Amino acid sequence: MRRFEFPVDRGHARAVNQVVADTRRLRLSAFIAVIVLGLCTAVLIWLNHPYSFLLAIATALGTVTALFAALWTPHRARIEKLYAEGELVPAVVSERLTRGAVLLILVDVAKADADPRYALITRKVRALPGHLIQPGEQVPSVTVRADRAPLSTGGLGQPVSAMPVAWGTRDPAVLERARAAIPQAEWKLLADNLDLAEKVRHADAKRLLLDPHQLPQELRGEPSR
């Protein structure tokens, strides 16, 4: 796995990183659920009815689960941890939107112990500090896995997204170093397939598996001739 280390600017990430914003919303929703379920539990116990006690047990379990999610989510989604554990991958701007852009991203969706299986995914972004919002712009990114547990079929891992390195730093030298760390063959593969972005966005799994035989030799692990 290709990793990329750099000092994360936490203030910058809090301002522009959509993963951080999503985590805040998730945590707020969990705390709201804790309050609502906790009140329901108290009311059910106050009713002092045999059936209400059974329902109170269910709502109490829901309260505990929601509280665990509220407290655990910030640790799991700590931005420095996500950047450190993710894989450095290429992404390019495929479409400019009224507010932001669509990125086309090349990722390996295979299980950890399986041979690489490359796919194209997309992500809408609201901001790309340090980048031009124009088709073909190279945006080095880091993968964010939905879950570490592998799927049971198909040899593919859990859903994967990506967040630009630019969401974690203001330093243009870091962005250039990340861009240079990705082989040119991968950038070219994305550039040659920009027209597939719309197809990826409408795919059932929100990803488009690439035929291994049509990949560049560098991605197939074959020696160049």
Read off the pLDDT of each residue in 148-174 and give the average, rounded to a whole number.
Answer: 75
Average pLDDT over all residues of the chain: 84
Inter-CA distances, 170 with 8, 173, 175, 176, Å:
9, 9, 8, 12
Model confidence band, residue 123 (pLDDT cutoffs 50, 70, 90):
very high
For residue 102, give the H/E element and its range.
strand 100-108
Cα–Cα distance for residue pair 102/223, rounded to 1 Å: 34
In three-state secondary structure terms, 62 is helix
Max mean pLDDT range (48-62, 70-84, 119-133, 136-150): 119-133
Does the pLDDT value for residue 98 go beyond 80? yes
What is the reported pLDDT for 31? 82
Task: Give backbone dihedrals phi and psi of 175, rounded to 5 degrees, phi first.
Answer: -65, -40
Task: Pick the range with the lowest mean pLDDT from 15-19, 133-137, 172-176.
Answer: 15-19
Does the pLDDT value for residue 148 go beyond 60? no
What is the reported pLDDT for 105? 96
Read off the pLDDT of each residue in 61-86 and give the average, rounded to a whole number.
Answer: 78
Does the pLDDT value for residue 99 go beyond 50? yes
Read off the pLDDT of each residue in 199-221 and give the average, rounded to a whole number.
Answer: 82
- Number of other residues whose CB lies within 10 A of the CB of residue 1: 9
What is the reported pLDDT for 224? 42
Q: For residue 223, what are its two tokens?
A: 């020696």
**pTM of the full structure:** 0.77
CB 27 within 8 A of CB 74: yes
Model confidence band, residue 214 (pLDDT cutoffs 50, 70, 90):
confident
CB 93 within 8 A of CB 134: yes
Read off the pLDDT of each residue in 81-108 and give the average, rounded to a whole number.
Answer: 92
Residues 6+ apart with CB under 8 A from 166: 16, 128, 129, 130, 131, 139, 175
Nearest to 94 by CA among 57, 132, 135, 55: 135
CB half-sphere exposure, 172, CA atoms < 13 A: 3
Model confidence band, residue 221 (pLDDT cutoffs 50, 70, 90):
low
Model confidence band, residue 151 (pLDDT cutoffs 50, 70, 90):
very low
CB 164 within 8 A of CB 128: yes
CB 117 within 8 A of CB 207: no
More confident residue, 193 or 53: 193
Does the pLDDT value for residue 77 go beyond 70? no
